[in-house]
Amino acid sequence: MTHHHFRAPWGRTLFIVSLFVTLLICSVALTLFMGRPLPRFVSLPAPTNGPAFVIAAVLLIPLGALLFVIRGYVLTKDGILIRRLWWNTVLPFDEILSVEVEPHALSHSFRTCGNGGLYSFTGFYWNRQLGHFRAYVTDLNRTVVVRMKHRTAVLSPDDPEAFVRTVSARLHS
């Protein structure tokens, strides 16, 4: 059986948010490293173990977010494999009820736990249309909703229509 690979391209919003936050965090770390006072709008607690501790804590933010980057989606014989940097998440075909293209599925969503735009939109979300769901998204304009027996997931493959056609064909075969 052949595996179908779909990329997870970054949309404009993800690129802008990631760039801005990365630059802000790096400038805060550099300012702390050089021993200069931070601007008034940056509020950090007083260092308990010296500046090195605070610098490390600030730099851990983007490093932690990198763990959850979505690299792509692979359709295997068993399900949808969501590729991350160091692990994969699987959505088994035997649990999938439907899959459909729904552009802007994250619109008007509330993030209950997760990442809202630093290298990905991942985690637990809620909105009126979908209820509670998991997001594995890199482009807010290319979203696909995967409804399963006990959960819902939102993905953003590079070609949503081809993704839905391919998953639907696997579900009905």
Give the chain's end-to-end CA distance (angstroms, integer).
Answer: 13
d(CA 100, CA 147): 9
Query: Which helix (H) or strand (E) covers residue 21, if one does?
Result: helix 12-34
pLDDT over threshold 90, residue 36: no
From 144, 126, 138, select the one nearest 83 (Cα to Cα): 138
Q: What is the pLDDT of residues 3-23, one digit of tens each?
A: 899 999 999 999 999 999 999
Higher pLDDT, 117 or 33: 117
Integer Cα distance of 131 and 24 in angstroms:
33
Q: Is the pLDDT at 48 greater than 50, yes or no?
A: no
The reported pTM is 0.86
H or E element: which one contains 65? helix 51-66
Please tell me the total number of residues recorded for the chain in this structure.
173
pLDDT of residue 73: 98
CA distance 132 to 144: 15
When pLDDT is cut at 50, 70 and 90, the band that residue 45 belongs to is: low
3-state class (DSSP) for residue 82: strand
Are β-strands 131-137 and 152-155 bridged in parallel, bridged antiparallel, or unpaired?
Answer: parallel
Using CA of residue 42, residue 45, residue 48, residue 54, what is the dihedral sign?
A: negative
Query: Binning pLDDT at 50, 70 and 90, where does residue 26 land?
Result: confident
pLDDT tens digit string along 119-135?
A: 999 999 999 999 999 99
What is the C-alpha R_g of the chain?
19
CA gap 156, 141 in Å, rounded: 8
pLDDT digit string (tens) for 51-89?
677 777 788 888 889 989 999 999 999 999 999 999 999
- With left for phi above 0 and alpha for psi between -120 and 50, is residue 50 left, alpha or beta? left
